[in-house]
Amino acid sequence: MKPFSHWAARTTTHCQALATAPMPPTPDRPQPGSGSVSLHAWAARLLAMITLTLLLPGRAMQGAESRPSGWEDSIVEMDVTRKQYDYTQPWTRRMQSRRKAGLVLEGHEILTTADQVYDRTLVRIQKRGRGKWYIGDVTWIDYHANLAIVTTEEPGFWDDLKPIVVPEGRSPSESMQIVRWREGKLEMRKAEFSQYTVDTGDLSFVPRILLEISAEIQGVGWGEPVFSNDTLIGLSVQHTGNKISVLPASFIRPILSARKLGTYRGLGFFDFFWQAAVNPASLEHLKLKGEPRGAIVIEVPSHPDQTPVLQPLDILLKIDGFDIDMQGDYQDPDYGPLLLENLATRGKWAGDAVPMTISREGRELEILYRLPKAEFSTSLVPDATYDQAPEYLIAGGFVFQPLNDPYLKAWGPDWKRRSPFRIYYFNNQAPTPEQPALVLLSQVLPDVYNLGYQDVKYLVVKQVNGRRIARLEDLHAALENPPDGFHIIEFMESDSLRRLVVSAADLEAATQRVLQRYGIASDHHLSSESPAETVTAGKP
């Protein structure tokens, strides 16, 4: 089960009149029938443009604005090389590079987004869009917050850089510009305010505030800063069409401050499902006293070690002092109506207690809801496995892998539709103490040992040799104890194959033969044997 937990996801808008976009200038076009004359005219114009360009060195591309802002000393370009895994052949890897923007902070730190910084092999930093690349070191990264801090020890790097301040509080929304280095020049594009929303990002299931802007620019969303005059508004994190999502400074600043103080424990989230209370008959049924308001809790995940403070059919009336309206919004003092999910990340961290006023069977109660820590590993099918090479185990040509979304994403951008339905559907199912995770028999590398099973694939393993399987480690251990000379592999109940049996004595030889024939260096990669080199959230 993965929250973003309300029915019929929707965005909450902080409305402002959109400024009318200026009309683009009509391009001069040669008129039909005036070919030879206009050729001359164009040649002359071209010459004039070249002259103009020569006269104004440093001018950015046409359409972009440029000015000596001082941002040149505060924005760096970064190039991150990372390993790219093919989950259909988890033993292979390729390299991929991504250009990103970084912001110079006090204390020899560079702030950027965490996107594409995972599985990194090399981080390089360049000043003023040109010249020497300095080797960077990621000292802190938080994938849920989508933030990372990079530094470098190289001499001279910091000498002529000017730190920027990530401001507190509400950001202005006038005269916004998005800024990046491009071809050695600082490119600035005018941006229009669109709305504030609360939504999940590409990296994490935790919903948090995002600023939506629009700008005539291509290929941003990689940490490029957005300014309003000289104030930092935020970092761009996503770009589709003209729409750019920006992580606001007001979200970033408290995290950076808490990190400095050592009090940042990672983001928390609301793990319950709720629905808006717009149907008055529902509120009447739940015996709410007073005006229609609040959001109705409909499902609360069970935790083996604690009794949840919330119950299904509780009505959330106040969260952290804010009234919840019947849409499930609260009135944010800075941004207007926002989805209640934002109150889990608004200056609060995992483990913090959030005071709530609820109505339960007609009685108002005050409760303290402790924010669970956002962790990928708590889902039955984890959304992400950052900084870990794909795990796998090959036994006699059978390829076993943990079922996770990175595996399913091998089906391409349309993976939710194209991946095999039944294994995708595990995303809709909750983990249990007996089954906290799933292991998939993803494919069979044909060998005489697995004769008759060559076409078996995409099956979730239930047990092996009588032992319940949730992780590759369980499988590894189960294969150590074959009863009576056979390995018995059983799959989850479905309309597909339930059971197969292979020889125990021949397994090792078959595995070696398969590795050699298919050119695979190792029969397994288990993260427990080589834990990821992580700089986790919560450690400054």
Smallest distance, Å, CB 493 to other proteins? 5
- Tell me whether residue 162 or residue 285 sits nearer to other proteins (CB atom): 285
- Tell me whether residue 8 or residue 261 sits nearer to other proteins (CB atom): 8
Report whether 73 contacts 196 (CB < 8 A).
no
Phi-psi region of 519 (alpha: psi -120 to 50; beta: other; left: phi over 0): left
Smallest distance, Å, CB 4 to other proteins? 12
- Tell me whether residue 258 or residue 298 sits nearer to other proteins (CB atom): 298
Smallest distance, Å, CB 350 to other proteins? 23
SS3 call for 329: strand
Report d(CA 470, CA 106) in Å as an integer: 45
- Tell me whether residue 174 or residue 421 sits nearer to other proteins (CB atom): 421
Among 368, 365, 359, CA closest to 292: 359
Report d(CA 186, CA 435) in Å as an integer: 52
- Tell me whether residue 350 or residue 456 sits nearer to other proteins (CB atom): 456
Report d(CA 302, CA 405) in Å as an integer: 23
Beta bridge partners of 138: 150
- Tell me whether residue 265 or residue 422 sits nearer to other proteins (CB atom): 422
Q: Which alpha helices (DSSP H) does 451-537 contain, by range?
A: 472-478, 507-518
SS3 call for 3: coil
Smallest distance, Å, CB 327 to other proteins? 10
Phi-psi region of 198 (alpha: psi -120 to 50; beta: other; left: phi over 0): beta
Smallest distance, Å, CB 497 to other proteins? 6
Smallest distance, Å, CB 377 to other proteins? 22
Smallest distance, Å, CB 484 to other proteins? 8
CB atoms within 10 A of CB 344: 27
Report whether 340 contacts 348 (CB < 8 A).
no
- Tell me whether residue 248 or residue 294 sits nearer to other proteins (CB atom): 294
Q: Which residues bind to other proteins, rule: CB under 8 A? A: 5, 7-8, 273, 275-276, 278-282, 284-285, 298-299, 312, 416-417, 421-422, 424-425, 428, 450-453, 486, 488, 492-495, 497-503, 506
Smallest distance, Å, CB 243 to other proteins? 22
Strands (E), 200-321: 208-215, 225-228, 231-240, 243-248, 273-276, 295-299, 315-319
- CA 444 from centre of chain: 32
The per-residue DSSP string of 27-50 comes to: PP-PPTT-HHHHHHHHHHHHHHHH
How, if at all, do strands 208-215 and 147-151 pair?
Answer: unpaired
Smallest distance, Å, CB 485 to other proteins? 8
- Tell me whether residue 165 or residue 488 sits nearer to other proteins (CB atom): 488
Strands (E), 38-119: 75-85, 93-105, 109-112
Which pair of tokens denotes residue 86? 């093919």
- Tell me whether residue 366 or residue 493 sits nearer to other proteins (CB atom): 493
Smallest distance, Å, CB 420 to other proteins? 11
- Tell me whether residue 134 or residue 426 sits nearer to other proteins (CB atom): 426
